[in-house]
Amino acid sequence: MTDTSLAAPTTLEVSVTLPPDAPLRDVAALARRAERLGVDTVQVAETMHDPFVVSTLVLEHTARLRVRTSMVVAFARSPMLTAYAAWDLARFSDGRFDLGLATQVRGNIVDRYSATWVDPVGQLRDYVASVRAIFAAFQGLRPLEHEGPHYAFRRLQPYFSPGPLDVPAPRLWTGGVGPAMCALAGEVADGFVAHPTASHPRVLTDLLAPDLERGAARSGRNREGLQVVANVRPFVGRTDAEVDAARDAGRQEAAFLYATPAYRRQLDLLGYGDLGERLSAMAAAKQWDGLSDVLTDEVVADLVVHATYAELPAVLAERYAGRCAGVNLALPADAADDDAFAAAIAAIRQLPSGAPFRPAGP
């Protein structure tokens, strides 16, 4: 089978991102816990560990969960190596693996991976096309003959082909923040995971939807052509005091993210552009400890969902029901909160889904 289309869901998908600093020895237990709590999908980031290694552990120790890389750093790898890993995981998991690809930011690509950054949107477009061409060759649909502006693949002897799958090929998701990268998702991707700094409901409707529509127009896609997951990452707890504590603990990470100029689009839309400028200046001066002081309680409350577990379904219903296909949350830091989190997930999964994606044309 090679159908990579996404069936349009009628209710919200709930995903969680595994803690990026979790030791590999803890991944199996975290995965089983997420599955037990009723989560639909586990997202695996690429920060401190190889995402394919982590994905293998999650898939090995679960029976129902989907796994989505969010996101593999594309430019640090040949599309062929990425395709091999994704194909293996799809076969290994009976089709429960989705491949998320993204560019990262220039500083990381050049200075952390020693890779090339010239035309990120065009290169990711060619990367996705390369992976699809390689998948088609693996499946035996056609010879491997891809000639693009950044990648060329002309050789796949039978000895090196893993052969066809009897499950759907991995679906390709992308991520991004800027208008050109978001439009690319509308053009080429099966799904799009919004960045945490670009998941406010106003961003989904006012910025992301037109971007996706513009990209879709280039390839003639319709509303069912792409699903969007909002990376909500709310501040939650059993009581208001615990919510406040979660906000204070997460404020530094939020400030660090918003200090990156590429992630400032949401701040500008919501009228906080001056704060973004200030955060970027402090980061450039390596004033890391003072970043969190810039984001007041009022600003953070506007930017990030705050709710007790009991309140969370209603809050998400108001902000996201009908606006996206899924929401990405986080596993409770304290397992004592698992019952409350599971109850919230069950209610969230009943909320209607949608997409900030309008059909191209009449």
| Residue 155, burial from CB neighbour count under 10 angstroms (0-12, 13-18, 19+) | exposed
| Residue 88, burial from CB neighbour count under 10 angstroms (0-12, 13-18, 19+) | middle
Are 360 and 187 spatial neighbours (Cβ–Cβ below 8 Å)? no
Q: What CATH code would you report for 13-234+305-348?
A: 3.20.20.30
Q: How far apart are CA 283 and CA 328, in angstroms?
A: 27
Nearest CA to 146 among 82, 79, 91?
A: 79
- Rounded average pLDDT over 340-348: 98
Of the pLDDT bands very low, low, confident and very high (cuts 50, 70, 90), residue 5 is very low
Question: What is the model's pLDDT at position 49?
Answer: 96
- Report pLDDT digits (tens) over 154-199: 999 999 999 999 999 999 999 989 999 999 999 999 999 999 999 9
Q: How far apart are CA 356 and CA 227, in angstroms?
A: 9
Are 284 and 107 spatial neighbours (Cβ–Cβ below 8 Å)? no
- Domain positions in the chain are 13-234+305-348, 239-304
- Report pLDDT digits (tens) over 161-173: 999 999 999 999 9
- Report pLDDT digits (tens) over 211-252: 999 999 998 886 566 899 999 999 999 999 999 999 998 888
| pTM for the predicted model, two decimal places | 0.91
Written as six digits, the tokens of 105 are 């930011």
| Residue 76, burial from CB neighbour count under 10 angstroms (0-12, 13-18, 19+) | middle
Q: How far apart are CA 306 and CA 308, in angstroms?
A: 7
Of the pLDDT bands very low, low, confident and very high (cuts 50, 70, 90), residue 358 is very low
- Report pLDDT digits (tens) over 68-93: 999 999 999 999 999 999 999 999 99
Question: What is the model's pLDDT at position 27?
Answer: 98
Q: Which residues, in sequence order, are CB contacts of 223 under 8 Å at separation 6+?
A: 8, 355, 357, 358, 359
